[in-house]
Amino acid sequence: MTTTPTAAEEKNHILLVDDEKMNLMVLDNLLRDDYDIFMAKNGQGAIDKVKECHPDLILLDIIMPDMNGYEVLQKIRELDCALKNTPVIFITGLNSEDNEEKGLDLGAADYIAKPFNSAIVKLRVKNQLQIVNQLRIIERLSEIDQLTAIPNRRSLDKQMYMQWGRAIRSSIPLGFMMIDVDKFKVFNDTHGHQLGDLVLQTVAKVFGRVVKRSGDFFARYGGEEFSVVLPDTSMRGVLKLAEQIRKNVEETVITYDDGKTVQVTVSIGAHSHTPLQNESMKDFIACADAALYKAKEMGRNRVCSSGDLQP
C-alpha cells in the first residue's frame, strides 16, 4: 500500500528562484542543512521545477528578466493541481508598500528583503513550513478512519480520481474491489458493537498483510464495506488478490473475552477496466458494486467479477 511520510520522516522541499547566482548561493548556504533545496534561475524554470520537485515552499525573486515574480506566482496559482497552493515568499530589494500589497494580493505568504539577514530568513522560512506541516498533519488525520486506522472514504475518493486519470492518460487497466463483511448487522446485533468494531479492525489488518504492492491502496468505504484500488492490474490480477483476501479473512481467528473466538467471512466484487476519456468513474465503481451483490446472492464468502454479471 502507498504510504505518505510524515513531516518528521523527511526534510521539507524548498525551491529557490533568483536570476542572480550569488543570491541562490547565499540562500542555499543558509537553508541546506535543514531542508532539501532546489533552484531555478528564471520564471519558466521555476514553473517547471514546481511540477518536478513538488516544493513545500517557494522563495521567489520579484525582479527577473524573462518573467517577473508576480507573473510566476500568477502562473503557479493557475496550475491544475494541488501545487497551485504552494506558499510563496517573495525575496526582493524593493521596499515600496505598493509592491508588498501587490504581492500579498496575488497570494504571497510573506516577504524577505535584500540584503539578506540570516536570522530573519531562517525564521520566516521556519514559520511558513510549520504552517505547511501542521496543515498536512490535519489533512492526513482527516483522511484516516479512526476505528480501523486505514484510509477513509475521503482518501479513497482522492486516490480513485488520481488513478482514474493516470489510467486514461497511460491506457492501462485499473483494478478495483468492493468488499463487504458478511452478515455484519446480524453479527453486531448478536455479539454487540464492541466485538463488531474488533471484527472491522481485524479485517483491516488483513489488508495490511495481503495488499503489499507499492501503489496499491485500500480503504474503509463505510460501515462494513472496504475498497481496494489496484493500478495497472488486469482482471486476472484483481481476482487473484481478491481470493487471497477472502481466504485470509476466513482463516483469521478473532479472540475476545478472555479466550472466546469468532470468525467472519467477506464477499468481494472485482472489476478491472482500461478507461477512456468519456467514460464515468461512477459507472466503473458501480460494476464492482454489482459484482459484490452478485457474490452475496450466490451465498457469500466468495469472489465475483464484473464478468459474472453477463447474461
What is the rounded CA–CA span in Å between residue 229 and residue 1?
10
C-alpha cell at 186: 446480524
- Taken in order 42, 48, 52, 54, the sign of the CA dihedral is positive
What is the rounded radius of gyration, in angstroms, for the C-alpha atoms of the chain? 25
The residue whose grid cell reads 513545500 is 56
The reply to whether 250 belongs to the active site is: no
DSSP state of 234: -
Cβ neighbors of 71 (< 8 A, separation 6 or more) are: 43
Beta strands in 62-159 (DSSP E): 88-92, 110-113
DSSP state of 215: T
What is the rounded CA–CA span in Å between residue 255 and residue 278?
49
Residues in the chain: 311
What is the rounded CA–CA span in Å between residue 55 and residue 282?
32
What is the rounded CA–CA span in Å between residue 275 and residue 10?
35
Catalytic residue among 20, 71, 224, 225: 224
What is the rounded CA–CA span in Å between residue 13 and residue 31?
10
Identity (one letter) of the amino acid at 104?
Answer: L
What is the rounded CA–CA span in Å between residue 27 and residue 267?
57
Residue 115: cis peptide before it, omega within 30 degrees of 0: yes
Active site residue ranges: 224
